[in-house]
Amino acid sequence: MNDQEFTIWCNIDFTATQESERELLLKGVGSHRLITFAPNQDGREGESRAVLRTADIGFGYPDAQAVAECARLRWVQLHSAGYTTFDLSDIKQALTRRGMILTNSSDVYDEPCAQHLLAMITSVARGLPLALDVQRGDKSWPVSAMRPTLRLLNEQTVLMLGFGSIARRLTELLLPLKMNLIAVRREISGDEPIPINKSSAVDEFLPTADHVVNILPANEQTKNFLSAERLAKLKPGAIVYNIGRGSTLDQTALIKELRSGRIAAAYLDVTDPEPLPPEHPLWETPNCYITPHLAGGCDREKKRQVEHFLDNLRRFEQGQPLRNSIW
């Protein structure tokens, strides 16, 4: 056991109802020095910047450029699954050059995100959004119109864009439904439980997909990855889901495809911009269902963030590999 004491910079937000989670963190860091800030104090200025420059560890979401300028920092754990501001070549080079470890909290979000996607996929197949529209609307009884439109998911093809921990968990949830699962990803590890292809080959698989599940992060390579040209390759009746980042999908092209009826539906948990303005046309686009960035949420989210950090802190103390390491 490493008995070295570390200074930990933290800007995790604890609400008034999350005192037990705060106490869990305070107790878990033990003899290490924990200095906390509000979420908007991200190390760019003031005391949060001064402490970040003297800290060994960061937990929360510090400003990426501020981190790049902190030569003492040895490890930063982001409380999110996303790491967009760190996924830039100059930031990555600066941090990897001095051996700083960056981890995210994807293990915190794989279960809720996978369950959210399962809910999206099954609810559209069984007509739940349309049935709710009827209940809140004219309260008619459209059994003859709706029953023939409901889908069985068995043997339908799901194409996953990205294959990290969320997609792995979604795979486990979908396999009992006997769906055909394939994925594309930037790098193939070889241990994936379903057929995987390089992201550059995605155009070959788009016309075969009944469901396109977008779990891509936002970076220089994924901007408008689901472009107008790629959406046009989808077969009629396909459904698009996005819980990655709004910038990875051409929303204007999606609106056009939905209005034409060629794409059957879209389920969006992320948009560009966020929050989505009330006047944005996505709100009124037919068969477009929106949840306001809820996929990663659950009643234990903050506790899971803290537990994940503390588990990695124990590993860091002992010189062991950390979970969810980005580099």
| Active site annotation includes 300 | no
pLDDT at 38: 95
3 pLDDT higher than 80: no
Peptide bond between residue 193 and the one before it cis (omega within 30 degrees of 0):
no
- pTM here? 0.92
* Mutual angle of helices 19-28 and 301-317, in 10-degree steps: 0
Distance CA(170)–CA(295), nearest Å, equals 13
Closest to 298 measured CA to CA, from 114, 43, 49, 120: 114
1 pLDDT higher than 50: no
* Mutual angle of helices 301-317 and 106-125, in 10-degree steps: 140
CA of residue 216 relative to chain centroid, distance: 8
* 135-160 per-position pLDDT tens digit: 999 999 999 999 999 999 999 999 99
Of the candidates 116, 185, 211, 245, the residue annotated as catalytic is 245
**Residue 155: strand, helix, or coil:** coil
The strand order across the sheet containing 196-198 reads: 196-198, 180-185, 157-161, 211-214, 239-242, 265-268, 288-290
pLDDT at 4: 87
pLDDT bucket at 259, cuts 50 / 70 / 90: very high
pLDDT bucket at 17, cuts 50 / 70 / 90: confident
pLDDT at 85: 93
Distance CA(123)–CA(120), nearest Å, equals 5
Distance CA(94)–CA(99), nearest Å, equals 9
Q: What are phi and psi of 101, to 5 degrees?
A: -90, 135
* 191-210 per-position pLDDT tens digit: 999 999 999 999 999 999 99
* 79-103 per-position pLDDT tens digit: 999 899 999 899 999 999 999 999 9
pLDDT at 220: 85
Of the candidates 32, 33, 262, 293, the residue annotated as catalytic is 293
Q: Are 155 and 179 in contact (CB under 8 A)?
A: yes
* Cβ neighbours for 57, distance < 8 A, ≥ 6 positions apart: 6, 7, 8, 9, 32, 73, 74, 75, 76, 77, 313, 316
Q: Are 175 and 153 in contact (CB under 8 A)?
A: no
Q: What is the overall mean pLDDT for the chain? A: 96
The strand order across the sheet containing 75-78 reads: 33-36, 7-10, 57-60, 75-78, 101-103
| Active site annotation includes 284 | no
| Active site annotation includes 257 | no
Q: Which residue has the tokens 């193939």?
A: 188
Q: Are 113 and 297 in contact (CB under 8 A)?
A: no
- Domains observed in the chain: 7-104+299-317 (3.40.50.720), 109-290 (3.40.50.720)
Peptide bond between residue 275 and the one before it cis (omega within 30 degrees of 0):
yes
pLDDT bucket at 2, cuts 50 / 70 / 90: low
Angle at 320 between CA 3 and CA 322, to 5 degrees: 115
- The Cα diameter of the chain in Å comes to 70
In this structure, the strands spanning 157-161 and 101-103 are unpaired
Of the candidates 72, 172, 274, 300, the residue annotated as catalytic is 274
